[in-house]
Chain A
Amino acid sequence: MPDATRSLQDQQGPYFGDFGGRFVPEALIAALDELEAEYRKAVVDPTFQEELARLHREYTGRPNPLTEVPRFAEHAGGARVFLKREDLNHTGSHKINNVLGQALLVKRMGKKRVIAETGAGQHGVATATAAALMDLECVVYMGEEDTERQALNVARMRLLGATVVPVTIGSRTLKDAINEALRDWVANVDTTHYLLGTVTGPHPFPEMVRDFHRIIGEEARAQILDRIGRLPDALAACVGGGSNALGLFNAFLDDKDVALYGFEAGGEGVPTGKHAARFSGGAPGVLHGARSYLMQDEDGQTLPSHSISAGLDYPSVGPAHSWLHDLGRATYEPVTDVEAMEAFRLLCRTEGIIPAIESAHALAGALRIGREAQAAGKEDTVILVNLSGRGDKDVATAARWFDLIDADTVVDGEGSSL
């Protein structure tokens, strides 16, 4: 049960209802305690908050705009659709919000080295960026399969001075990158901070990362009130680990009339088993330090996830989402690769905005919400979508998906001539 003395948006770890906790080796507990203590000091330290606010303003480019997309919305059953433009942040996604906050904490703790995991490469790029800015050594673990499908982001991280380590064990994707990062952290915890990129992991990460992203929802809530004079009917966000979704949802959690929708990777369809729809095909379990919904077999072995989008290709989900799911406060639905790519192309063609494929899952979800509202006879529906990232990194994938490469173009490897 939630802590009744706190609003939903101010819940604190280690537990969100039945979810969360610290299921990690004892060797990491001292570092987690240190991190939590430093974080609790920083949040009430005006110097820390002012420095973070300055970076948001002068480095990231916050506040980013809220963009209404009427030509896209014509396909959404007559709803009005607004996009929160996290794609316009420096480094191209929401990930920078959390990375700057944690990097400032690293400086406060006096550590010199950061490690990170990355799936699509967005968090790795953001971490490499903050490490360059703040003069920290940076090592990024990335599943070998992801280094291949996101080769441009690997190059970006290396340009920024980071070491990228392809992980060749297990399923060679995000979950295995996190395993390797945890092994590194256990061995080097005295000098190293694990700059975890989403609202998963052991306490205090789920709470702390949520707090570094709550600015998304706080800005969006003020912007939509200013624009239309009321709150939206629904929010839509994609959910991998769930940081952009929780960042958007958080400011609206106590607004009971705002429906919250998280869209997971339905991959090739939930019945095929090739997906990352934890709330449709998973059950509560423990992975990477937290109890949450998890794709697992009957022996508790982690099942491989699947998605066209590397950033949603993760078998578990942040514990706060499991809590919101079980409370009935948020609804989680799968969006297939096909639906996401159709929404991806639609936004490109109707609005001149190329979204990240991750965010395209939220766009597809918004189309669904709008059409369902129309079918239910509702009018004047307003949907606010978190456009969590831009699609530059996905151009090669999209070109292959839509067969956009001329036959006589010589393509070097995985579309790198693009």
Chain B
Amino acid sequence: MSGTVGGVRAPHATSARIDELAAEGRAALIGYLPVGYPSVEGTVQAATALVESGVDIIELGLPYTDPVMDGPVIQRAVEHALAGGTRVRDVFTAVEAVAALGVPVLVMTYWNPVLRYGVEAFARDLAAAGGAGLITADLIPDEAGEWIAAADAHGLDKVFLVAPSSTPERLRLTAAASRGFVYAASTMGVTGVRAEVGSRAEELVAATRAAGGEHVCVGLGVSTAAQAAQVGRYADGVIVGSAFVRPLLGDEPWEERLENLRTVTRDLAEGVRTARAGDGTTGQVTA
């Protein structure tokens, strides 16, 4: 795999990896895990399980007290992570360990923890840990001047979000400000497992590309192989969160939960790998 060598980050690792996978004829599978659930070490083990089972890019969540873009599954995990004493510096520890696996590692965060840490200091320490960049859930480019400057100085990805409600003007603004990819929210809502991926997602990806978005990945509500295959046909990447966190929330022994996570991951990985093959059905999964 390219992008990182021994945990040392190469610039633009995320877009390079997406381009590589596109050459192989498929979308990237991007997996989210909150740092500190059930422990920092557990997060690294779970991320390792994701990578070994076919996830291409890891998104590590910085746990925050007021996650307004997250649904009940991720809220539960994050609340547990905070109650367990997870700190911002633990995120850098986890980033370093996961980047050593050779995959691009992005951090998903709400804005206040970065602001409090110091935007420039955060960018410096994230880059030093081998992180690829930030996904900012509640920071729009209009408010992001300080972050954009710091990210540019440290060669970090800036992943901003677009939504089905975004106007063409805002799609252009957001696409121009983003690096790595543009995160297209599949639906109007928060993270969670949904029966269907929003029908507006495909239109949004097309509109975002038309607005200048180089790579557009889709998240929110993707939880099955069939959904991953469906999204993987038109998007550059498929972002999965709650469906990876849910198997970890059970009461079973940790090893068993990791095994359940591997099963879910292999299934979704199969979905993105067959998305653009033949008639586009997964062959294994019925929706």
Enumerate chain A interface residues (CB-CB to B < 8 A). Answer: 21-31, 33, 169-170, 175-176, 179, 182-183, 186-190, 285-289, 294, 296, 298-302
Contacts and interface: CB of A to CB of B under 8 A. Distances in A.
B115 A25 contact: no
B143 A23 contact: yes
A31 B170 CA distance: 13
**Size band of the B side of the interface?**
35 or more
Interface stretch (B15-23, B182-190, B243-251): B182-190
Nearest to B140: A26
A26 B161 contact: yes
A70 to B, nearest CB: 46
Question: Would you list the 4 A-B pairs with minimal beta carbon distance, nearest first?
Answer: A300-B116, A27-B163, A300-B113, A187-B189
B79 A285 contact: no
Q: Which of B139, B140, B166 has the most CB of A within 10 A?
A: B140
A26 B66 contact: no
A301 B64 contact: yes
Interface string B95-113: 0000000000000000111
Interface of B: 64-69, 71-72, 75, 79, 82, 87-88, 111-117, 137-140, 142-143, 160-167, 170, 174, 185, 188-190
Q: Which of A186, A188, A190, A298 has the most CB of B within 10 A?
A: A186
B163 A190 contact: no
A373 B36 CA distance: 53
A299 B113 CA distance: 6
Contact of A27 (B65, B88, B117, B165): B165
A24 B66 contact: no
B188 A190 contact: yes
A300 to B, nearest CB: 3
Given A188-B188, A288-B66, 15 more contacts: A23-B111, A23-B139, A23-B143, A24-B138, A25-B69, A26-B140, A26-B160, A27-B161, A183-B69, A186-B69, A186-B190, A286-B111, A298-B116, A302-B65, A302-B66
B116 A23 contact: no
Contacts of A28: 165
B77 to A, nearest CB: 12
Contact of A25 (B68, B114, B167): B68
Contacts of A169: 72, 75, 79
A286 B112 contact: yes
A22 B111 CA distance: 11
Contact of A22 (B82, B116, B143): B143
Given A170-B66, A179-B66, A26 B163 contact: yes
Contacts of B142: 22
A299 B143 contact: no
A41 B190 CA distance: 31
Q: Which of A24, A190, A286, A298 has the most CB of B within 10 A?
A: A286
A26 B68 contact: no
A289 B68 CA distance: 10
Contacts of A29: 140, 165-166, 170
B116 A26 contact: no
B68 A183 contact: yes
Contacts of B112: 285-287, 294, 296, 300, 302
Contacts of A24: 68, 138, 140
A341 to B, nearest CB: 29
A301 B163 contact: no
Contacts of A183: 68-69, 71, 189-190
Contacts of A294: 112
Nearest to B141: A26
A363 B158 CA distance: 49
A29 B188 CA distance: 12
A294 to B, nearest CB: 7
Contacts of A286: 111-112, 115, 138
Q: Which of A26, A169, A296 has the most CB of B within 10 A?
A: A26
B65 A26 contact: no
Nearest to A182: B68
Contacts of B190: 183, 186-187
B137 A25 contact: yes
B19 to A, nearest CB: 25
A22 B142 CA distance: 8
Contacts of A31: 165
A27 B68 contact: no
B75 A186 contact: no
10 contacts: A26-B166, A27-B163, A27-B185, A169-B72, A170-B65, A175-B66, A189-B188, A285-B116, A300-B117, A302-B66
A241 to B, nearest CB: 15
Contacts of A30: 165-167, 170
Contacts of B82: 301
A182 B114 CA distance: 21
A176 B139 CA distance: 20
Contacts of A301: 64-65, 82, 113
A21 B117 contact: no
Contacts of B185: 25-27
Given A186-B189, A299-B117, A21 B88 contact: no
A300 B115 contact: yes
A244 to B, nearest CB: 24
A365 to B, nearest CB: 29
Nearest to A169: B75
Nearest to A303: B65
Nearest to A21: B143
A209 B12 CA distance: 44
A102 to B, nearest CB: 20
A296 B116 CA distance: 9
Contacts of A27: 161, 163-166, 185, 188
